[in-house]
Amino acid sequence: MLQDMDLAGKTVIADRGYDMNNILELIEKQQAIAVIPSRKLRKVQRKCDWWLYKERHLVECLFNKL
């Protein structure tokens, strides 16, 4: 799905389940910013914009209420 989207200059926000090298490489290749926290078992933890990541949670809660 991400391959078919134009992500240039956009931010992709997802949970830890999407912390995979192939997804991160695809996002970087399309010149987008990945806001995906690193899995706890990764040796090298990436930086994450936690404020923006918390916004994702608010949207998820809204859909749960609907």
Q: CB–CB of 53/13 below 8 Å?
A: yes
Tell me the pLDDT tens digit for each residue of 14-59. Answer: 999 999 999 999 999 999 999 999 999 999 999 999 999 998 888 8
Model confidence at 3, pLDDT cuts 50, 70, 90, reads confident
- Residue whose structure tokens are 């987008």: 32
Alpha carbon of residue 48 to chain centroid? 9
Q: In this model, does residue 2 exceed pLDDT 90?
A: no
| pLDDT for position 51 | 93
What domain range is 12 assigned to?
2-65
According to DSSP, the β-strands at 11-13 and 33-35 are: parallel
The total of structural domains in the chain comes to 1
Predicted pLDDT at 44: 93
Give yes or no for a contact between 27 and 7, defined as CB atoms under 8 angstroms apart.
yes
